[in-house]
Structure 1
Amino acid sequence: MKTITTILQSDPSMIEMTVKGWVRSFRNDRFIAINDGSTIHNLQAVIEPESFDRELLDQITVASAVAVTGILVESEGSGQRVELQATKVEVLAGADPEEVKKTILSPKRHKLETLREQAHLRVRTNTFGAVMRVRAALSFAVHKYFNENGFYQAHTPIITGSDAEGAGEMFRISTLDPKNPPLDEDGNINYKEDFFEKESNLTVSGQLEAETYAMGLGQVYTFGPTFRAENSNTSRHLAEFWMIEPEV
Structure 2
Amino acid sequence: MSAVKRLYPLIACASILFSVVAVVVGQFGPDPYLDPLNVTISEYAVSDRGGVTEVAMAVLGIGSLALLAGLRAAGAPVRGMPEWLLRVWSGALVVAALVPTTPIGADLDLAAQVHRYVSVAAFVSLPAAGALLVPRLRSDERWKPVARVVEWVALAGGFGLLAITYVAMPGERVMIGLVERLLLGAEVTLLGVLAVWLAWLAWRPSGRPTSAQGRNFLTYHRFIASRS
TM-score range, shorter chain: under 0.3
Q: What TM-score, normalized by structure 1, do the two folds share?
A: 0.23
Bigger proportion of residues as helix? 2
Bigger proportion of residues as strand? 1
Q: What TM-score, normalized by structure 2, do the two folds share?
A: 0.24
Work out which of the two has the higher radius of gyration on C-alpha atoms and give 1 or 2. 1
The structure, 1 or 2, with the larger RCO (C-alpha pairs under 8 Å, 6+ apart) is 2
